[in-house]
Chains A and B, each alone.
Chain A
Amino acid sequence: MSASLQSTLKGFCNNRVWRSIFRRAPARTNRTRSIAIFGNLFLHALPVKVREKSLRVRATYYLGSFSFFLFVVLTLTGIMLMFYYHPAAPKAYNDMKDLRFVVSEGIFLRNLHRLAAQAMVLAVFWHMFHVFYRGGYKPPHEFNWVIGVVLLLLTLFLSYTGYLLPWDQLAFWAITVGTNIISYIPILGKPTRFLLLGGHEIGENALLRFFVLHCVILPLAMIVLIALHFWRIQKDGGLTIRESDERK
C-alpha cells in the first residue's frame, strides 16, 4: 500500500506538468533542493543552505518569522475587511456594526485583524529585544538593524492609523491624544498635524487620510522594507551565531 502510494506521489511530482510549474524535478538531490530555493520567486528570500545552529528555536524564537506571518495575516484579513468598509463618517461606524450583526463571520474577521495587529506590535518589539541580547546587530548586520528600526516605526504607525478606522469613541479620542502630541513639536508641529489630519480637527478628512495611509501607503512601504530586511540577512551571511553557541 505505502509503496504504491509512494510511487503514485513520485509520478505526481515527476511529470511534464509539475516540471513546467516548478522548473525542476522533485527535490530529492541537493541540486534540486538548491533549485527549489533559488529557482522560486518567493522562496529565494531564503539562502540555499543555512547553519544548523541558526535553526535552533533559541536562536530566534521565530520572532522575525512570526512578525512576518502576522503581517501576512493582517494583509489578507485587511483586504477582506475592505470589502465591507467605507472610509466616511459615520458610515465607517455603521460598517463596524454590520460586521458584527449582518456579515456572517464578520466579527470573527474583525477579531482576527485586531488580534493580529496587537500581536504584531508585541512580536516586533520582542524580536528587536531578542536580536539585541543576542548581539544580532553587530557587524556586518548594522544596517539591517537600522532597517529594523524603520520597520518598528512602520509597524507602530500602521497599527495607529488603523486605530481610527472604526470611528467609535475609542478610536476618535485615542487619535486625538496622539495627534495633539504632534503639535508640541517646535515649528513643524502644527503644519505636520494639519497635513496628517487634512484640517485642524479630526473629521472626515482625517479618516480618509488615515485610511489611505493604513491600506495603501504604509503596507507598501512595509513590503519593500521587509524584502530589504530579508535580502540583507542573506547578503550579510546569515544569522548571527554567538561564540558561546559556536562551541556547543
Chain B
Amino acid sequence: MSENRKFEAGIGSDFSKDPVRIVFITKKTSAKVRGVLRDQVMSYPHVVLREIIAFELLTIVLVLMALFWDAPLEQLANPLLTPNPAKAPWYFLGLQELLHYFPPIVAGVLIPVLIIIGLVAIPYFDLNVKGEPLWNARRTPRLRIFCGIVLIFLMFFGVYKAWSIFVTTAIIAALAVAGYFVPAGRGSAIEYLRSRSLPWWLMTWFIIMACILTIIGTFFRGPGWSWVWPWR
C-alpha cells in the first residue's frame, strides 16, 4: 500500500460483509471504509427453516395436550349464586392476592399502574446499560440507601400483615446485601450473586414475588380467601 493514498475503496459481493460501500472523499479529509467480516447467514433458508421447525414443535405439543385435557365448563352463569371464593383468571390471582392484604386503591390501582410505569421506564434508566454490579462503587452509601429502602418496604408489608411478601422480600434483600460482605472469589454461586446489578435484583424480586403470589392465590386460597392446603 503506497504512503500517499488518501482513500480506500472496494466493491464486493460477499454477503457476509457489511454493505457499506459508497464513499466520497473531498480534499484532505479521507474516510476509510472497511467491510467488517461478521458471522452472518442468509435468513433464507436458515431462519425460515428454524421458524418452521419451532412452529411444528408447538403444534405437536398443543395438539397432544388438547387431546388429553379438556377446557373447563361449569354451570350456566348465575348472578344470584356467588361461588366462594370467586377467582379471577390465574394470571390475575397475584393481584387478587394483593387485594387480600392491601386496600383496594393500593392493590387494585396503584400497584398495577406502578408496575406498568416501571416496565415502560426500564430502557430509559441507564442503570443497567452496563450491568454494573451493585456493590462495585460507592459501596457504603449504596448499602445505606438500599437497606433504608428495604426497611421502609418491610415495615409497610408488616403493617398490613402481608407476611408472604415480607418474608420473600427479606430473603432476597439479604441475598443482595450478602454480596457486600462476601469477599471476591469465593465459589461460583456466590460470585454470581455478587456480580448482579441493581435492576437484576429488582426484576428478580418482582418475578419471584409474582410467582409466589400467583401460586398462593391459585392453590392456597379457599372460601372467604382463607388459607387452605391444596392436598387436604
- CA of A142 to CA of B122, assembled, Å: 8
- CA of A133 to CA of B70, assembled, Å: 35
Residues of chain B lying within 8 A (CB to CB) of residue A118: 90
Nearest neighbor of B13 in chain A, beta-carbon distance = A30
Category for how many chain A residues contact B: 35 or more
Q: Which of B42, B71, B73 is in CB contact (< 8 Å) with A34?
A: B42
B123 within 8 A of A: yes
Please indicate which of the listed interface residues A49, A128, A145, A186 has the most CB atoms of chain B within 10 Å of its own CB.
A49
Residues of chain B lying within 8 A (CB to CB) of residue A160: 89, 92
A110 within 8 A of B: yes
- CA of A73 to CA of B122, assembled, Å: 31
Q: How far is the CB of A84 from chain B (nearest CB, A)?
A: 14
Q: Are A174 and B88 in contact (CB under 8 A)?
A: yes
* B163-186 with Cβ < 8 A to chain A: none
Residues of chain A lying within 8 A (CB to CB) of residue B89: 159-160, 163, 174, 178
Q: Which of B62, B81, B99, B124 is in CB contact (< 8 Å) with A115?
A: B62
Nearest neighbor of A153 in chain B, beta-carbon distance = B116
Q: How far is the CB of A181 from chain B (nearest CB, A)?
A: 4
| Chain B 114-129: CB-based contact to A (< 8 A → 1; otherwise 0) | 0010011011100011
Q: How far is the CB of A116 from chain B (nearest CB, A)?
A: 6
Q: Are B105 and A51 in contact (CB under 8 A)?
A: no
Q: Are B88 and A178 in contact (CB under 8 A)?
A: yes
B96 within 8 A of A: yes
Q: Are A46 and B73 in contact (CB under 8 A)?
A: no
Q: How far is the CB of A149 from chain B (nearest CB, A)?
A: 5
Q: Which of B38, B45, B70, B75 is in CB contact (< 8 Å) with A169?
A: B75
Residues of chain A lying within 8 A (CB to CB) of residue B73: 96-97, 100, 166, 168, 170
Chain B residues in contact with chain A, CB under 8 A?
13, 15-16, 38-48, 50-51, 54-55, 58-59, 62-63, 65-67, 69-79, 81-83, 86-92, 95-96, 99, 104-105, 108-109, 116, 119-120, 122-124, 128-129, 131, 200, 203, 207
4 closest Cβ pairs, A-B complex: A142-B123, A172-B77, A111-B66, A173-B86
Instruction: Give me 6 other A-B pairs in contact (C-beta within 8 A), A115-B65, A152-B119 excluded.
Output: A90-B77, A107-B70, A115-B62, A141-B123, A177-B86, A181-B95
A-B contact pairs, 22 of them (CB 8 A): A27-B44, A30-B42, A51-B41, A52-B39, A62-B50, A66-B58, A69-B54, A93-B77, A96-B73, A107-B71, A111-B70, A112-B66, A115-B62, A129-B203, A149-B119, A160-B92, A172-B77, A173-B83, A174-B89, A177-B87, A185-B109, A189-B109
